Amino acid sequence: MRKLKNAELNRLDIDGYKRAEKNPVVIVLDNIRSLNNIGSIFRTADAFRVEAIYLCGITAQPPHRDIHKTALGATDSVNWKYFKTTEEAISELKTKNYVIIALEQAEGSVMLNKFYPDPNQSYVVILGNEVHGIEQKIVDISDHCVEIPQFGTKHSLNVTVSNGIILWDILLKLNVL
């Protein structure tokens, strides 16, 4: 086995990425406070070729040095838009018939391994604040509340880890990977 060189990975350039068909997912960041987390989410969004990231509330916007540090240029490839409130972002996406998923621990949540997306739908994945999670009023207007099963002593996963897990799972179930 030989490790591949970057030139052998056949990655798209920015223009190619912009023209490429996107996977039917929009990520909504509900008041994410860490710029490093925001950058990492951009980088993962690029890897999974999602449609866009919607930055809401206190979530910082590119360009920013600390976002760039972890995004490594993904803020140039991934489409993004800022909203003053998460409700505004969700409202826009609902008018476009997206199915809204709040990734949160809640009464009645569905474990991710038991959630099966419809391949004829487009999805929104809402990720919440690192301390407080997704605001209750946002959970209330979501179509689904999905939770990642956990078996250890901690009560949550880092938001960037959660982002990677749910994107991988949904896109795998939609047969786009």
Residue-wise pLDDT tens digits, 91-103: 999 999 999 999 9
123-128 β-sheet, strand order: 80-83, 50-56, 23-30, 123-128, 99-103, 144-147, 110-111
Q: What domains, with CATH codes, occur in the chain?
A: 19-173 (3.40.1280.10)
Per-residue DSSP letter, 22? P
CA-closest candidate to residue 127, choices 161, 110, 157, 103: 103
Whole-model pTM: value is 0.97
Task: Provide the pLDDT confidence category of residue 132 given band limits of 50, 70 and 90.
Answer: very high
Per DSSP, what are the bridge partners of residue 102? 126, 145
Residues 6+ positions from 167 with CB-CB distance below 8 Å: 25, 27, 44, 45, 48, 50, 125
